[in-house]
Chain A
Amino acid sequence: MLVIKDLHAGVGGKTILNGIDLTVNAGEVHAIMGPNGSGKSTLANVLAGRDTYKVTRGSVTYLGDDLLAMSPEERAWAGIFLAFQYPVEIPGVSNLYFLKTAMNALRKHRGEEELDAMDFLELVKKKVDLVQMDASFLQRAVNEGFSGGEKKRNEILQMAVLEPRLAILDETDSGLDIDALKIVAGGINAMRAPDRAMVVVTHYQRLLDHIVPDKVHVLAHGRIVKSGGKELALELEEKGYSWIEEQAGQQAVVGS
């Protein structure tokens, strides 16, 4: 589904991603871990098409298409969803209206009929139950005055409504209390499907207790320095990142 090759990207002449190689197949869940500032959000943003970041080398194909040639909205229409690490507030625009606009934009570009207000409301109500959010959030302005945890849950609600093919979740578990974490993880699990892939950026094993990943990757200094199965996350929890970074450093020396 997603094939990233030798991806280099940065901002203002500063390189942040330093040659990423990653393949994600339909039906898989990949976890990306790594120290602060290692480039996880940058990778997520580059995949979603944020033009703050300039791609300097490498390629990304998504469902056989050149992803890097597509605008952010085209990527969304093609089924890519990014749950933001820091969801954005849009004053005066209700959550419900925002969701409906997004939903109908997607449908329109897929040649499907737009949903009317009633049908849409019905659909959203179901999804609201899935993430156990109070329906009153639908009437509030997008993320405005939401607590940190509420914002994260709202991202999952949007994902549930928009039903992407590739979901990239950037630290959706950060800032969630224990109950909310379970609910969010439940929501994510409910969306696992053979034709859907997920890339989950997280710092914590506890999320991966609930969402068991097929692969775990460690990002450091803009590169994937180690990949493994779900056990890798446990190992990281125990030992931290330094041993991998050391290992990676040695490899780099050997390699040069």
Chain B
Amino acid sequence: MTDSSDSSTVKNVELRELAGQKYKYGWVTDIESDSAPPGLSEEIIRFISAKKDEPEFMLEWRLKAYRYWLTMKEPNWAFVHYPPIDYQKIIYYSAPGSKKGPESLDDVDPKLLETYEKLGIPLAEQKMLTGVAVDAVFDSVSVATTYKDKLNEMGIIFCPFSEAVREHPELIKKYLGSVVPTTDNFFAALNSAVFTDGSFVYIPKGVRCPMELSTYFRINAANTGQFERTLIIADAGAKVSYLEGCTAPMRDENQLHAAVVELVALDDASIKYSTVQNWYPGDENGVGGIFNFVTKRGRCQGRNSRISWTQVETGSAITWKYPSCILQGDNSVGEFYSVALTNNYQQADTGTKMIHIGKNTKSTIISKGISAGHGQNVYRGLVKILKSAEGARNYSQCDSLLLGDKCGAHTFPYIDVRNSAARMEHEASTSKIGEDQLFYCQQRGIAPEDAVSMIVNGFCKDVFRELPMEFAVEAQKLLEISLEGAVG
């Protein structure tokens, strides 16, 4: 199904005039960084691994991934277009100044803290009040993790990935690559070879994590790729909600972000993973911006387990991302709630895969795509129901909203059902913010810009209500900023 807006009723001239959005997070922090030379080789991988004081098994794992990656081709099936990426020009390791990881907040470079302040994530302990523990990843290293002690008491591990590799090798060995194998896809293989940091979470049996855990990613240095790795394990009966936010400075050249996130939920465990992705989208002519090629996947390994992905994607020049669930345990539940907005020349190809293996597994997909300017928005989803998935159910709803007549929305829902008793429901719609709706709002005194953001927020409501309160507000504001001037 492909729809391109051709509405003459929407006021295109004004749409174009107003299509200048501003990126609020576009400053660069001036910190001397400790970087590897550009390029990718076994040497660089050894360098990264050494920098991180990694045990031998980790280096071996990376090298294996790298060697496999060399045999792979960059995928080209997605509905996105970009100039070829020169993987030898990218810097694969860049750490802010100090050589060792900080011991406490006092050791953190004040300029970094300032950066986070600007981002609105004070690392200071007051954050406790809002119940968020933050692991902040700045370029390639994790700079500070708050509330570690408090979480430690409950047996919860929440730490930079590199620390987990050193201190919890048994968990890493057991789970790393268990959901997204190194051979999974081109970008996942690349990430496995060169990932520099990320977050690690382990929630022990029966523990409900008392606060939202959160990571904030920021790409600062030029020509740097960011390859983080996140692994979250919820042991039997455990429960956790995890938030991820991202920004990057404005730069004319494109920057690559190829992350891998793996989630594992054991019996009766539940993981809620929320993302507000606001990487720099490039300017109004499509110059610059982040290439966001991310592999996110969760395994509902245990009975009655649940994994829920909620994403609000407003940033990046290109987004290529399909947070997925493998529903292995009987009665397990997978959910995907997504808002993807593309303005100017942004392109997004996003969606999910729900793989039903266990009995009575259930999945819900709600995708809201918003296209403005010359933005292209693709929903690509797969619902696969294996023969073993007796009583499986899926509900999918994919809605697209178009603002203007230069943008596009495309929906590719793939369905593969091997069990005839499965129940599937699919709904899709494409609509335009009509002149009718705008005029109705204006007649009531609501200015066009406010009307658009109100209508768009209404359109996204089913997804926003899945977000933790704090994030929902941020997401709404982001949409507003990203759409600034998209309609007159």
Q: Which residues of A pack against B, CB within 8 Å?
A: 48-52, 71-73, 75-77, 81-82, 84, 87-88, 90-93, 97-98, 101-102, 105-106, 109, 141, 158, 162
Are B442's CB and A102's CB within 8 A?
no
Q: Which of A87, A101, A162 contacts B440 (CB 8 A)?
A: A87
When chains A and B are docked, how far (Å) is the Cα of A82 from the Cα of B443? 7
B415 on the interface (CB 8 Å rule)? no
Residue from the list A48, A88, A141 in contact with B458, Cβ < 8 A? A141
| Given A92-B458, A93-B457, A105 and B440 contact (CB-CB distance below 8 Å) | no
Q: Which residue of B lies closest to A144 (CB)?
A: B458
A73 in contact with B458 (CB, 8 Å): no
Cβ-defined contact, A88 with B442, below 8 A? no
With both chains docked as a complex, state the minimum distance between the C-beta of B170 and any C-beta of chain A, in angstroms: 47
Question: Could you tell me if A71 and B442 are in contact, using CB atoms closer than 8 angstroms?
Answer: yes
In the complex, which residues of chain A have a beta carbon less than 8 angstroms from the beta carbon of B436? 88
Q: Does B435 contact A (CB under 8 A)?
A: yes
Asked if B244 is at the interface (CB within 8 A of a chain A CB), the reply is: no
Instruction: Please name all residues of chain B whose beta carbon is closer than 8 Å to the beta carbon of A75 when the two chains form the complex.
Output: 443
Specify which chain A residues have a CB less than 8 angstroms from the CB of B460 in the assembled complex: 92
B439 within 8 A of partner (CB): yes
Residue count of chain B within 8 Å CB distance of chain A:
25
Q: Which of B440, B442, B450, B457 contacts A84 (CB 8 A)?
A: B440
Of B442, B448, B462, which one neighbours A92 at CB under 8 angstroms?
Answer: B462
A89 (CB) vs chain B CBs: closest residue: B437
Q: Mark B452-469, 1 if CB is under 8 A from A, else 0.
A: 001101111110000000
* Subset of 16 A-B contacts with CB under 8 Å: A51-B11, A52-B9, A52-B435, A73-B442, A73-B447, A76-B442, A82-B443, A84-B440, A84-B443, A88-B434, A88-B437, A90-B441, A91-B458, A97-B454, A105-B444, A105-B450
Q: Is B75 an interface residue (CB 8 A)?
A: no
Answer whether residue B445 sits at the interface, using C-beta atoms and an 8 A cutoff. Answer: yes
Contact A73 B445 (CB under 8 A): yes
Given contacts A49-B442, A90-B437, A105-B447, 6 further A-B contacts (CB under 8 A): A52-B435, A73-B448, A90-B458, A91-B459, A98-B444, A105-B446
Q: How far apart sit A254 and B454, CA to CA, in the bound complex (Å)?
A: 54
Q: How far apart are the CA atoms of A91 and B461 in the complex, in Å?
A: 9
Knowing A77-B445, A109-B445 are in contact, say whether A50-B458 is a contact too (CB < 8 A). Answer: no
Interface contact A48-B459, CB-CB below 8 Å: no
Given contacts A88-B437, A90-B455, A93-B458, contact A101 B443 (CB under 8 A): no
Bound CA span A174–B454, Å: 29
Q: Which residues of A contact B458 (CB under 8 A)?
A: 90-93, 141
Give Cα A106–Cα B440 distance, bound, in whole angstroms: 15
Query: How long is the Cα–Cα vector from A51 to B10 in the complex, in angstroms?
Result: 11
Q: Which residues of A contact B461 (CB under 8 A)?
A: 92-93
Task: Name B6-55 residues within 8 Å CB distance of A.
Answer: 9, 11
| Chain A residue contacts of B447, Cβ below 8 A | 73, 105
Task: Say yes or no: A50 contacts B439, CB within 8 Å.
Answer: yes
Question: Which chain A residue lies CB-closest to B429?
Answer: A91
Query: Which residue of A is nearest B461, CB measured?
Result: A92
Contacts A52-B435, A92-B459 given; indicate if A101 touches B442 (C-beta within 8 A). no
B440 touches A90 (CB 8 A): yes
- B459 and A88 within 8 A (CB): no
Quick check: B450 and A72 within 8 Å, CB to CB? no
CA distance A48 to B440 in the complex (A): 10
With A92-B462, A93-B454 as given contacts, are A162 and B435 in contact (CB-CB < 8 Å)?
no
Residues of A within 8 A of B450 (CB): 101, 105
Known: A88-B437, A101-B450. A93 touches B442 (CB 8 A): no
Q: Looking across the interface, which residue of chain B has its beta carbon closest to that of A106?
A: B445
State how many angstroms separate the Cβ of B430 from the closest Cβ of chain A. 13
Closest 5 pairs (CB-CB, A-B): A92-B458, A93-B458, A76-B445, A102-B444, A72-B442
Q: How far is the CA of A97 from the CA of B446 in the complex (A)?
A: 12
Q: Which of B9, B444, B454 contacts A162 (CB 8 A)?
A: B444
Of B9, B11, B454, the residue contacting A98 (CB under 8 A) is: B454
CB-CB under 8 A from A92, the residues of chain B are 457-462
Smallest beta-carbon distance A40→chain B, Å: 17
A6 to chain B, nearest CB (A): 25
A48 and B443 contact, Cβ closer than 8 Å, known pairs A92-B460, A93-B458? yes
Smallest CB-CB separation from B368: which chain A residue?
A: A92
Question: Once bound together, how far apart are the Cα atoms of A210 and B454, in whole Å?
Answer: 37
Checking B443, B459, B462 against A76 with a beta-carbon cut-off of 8 angstroms, the contacting residue is B443
CA distance A101 to B446 in the complex (A): 7
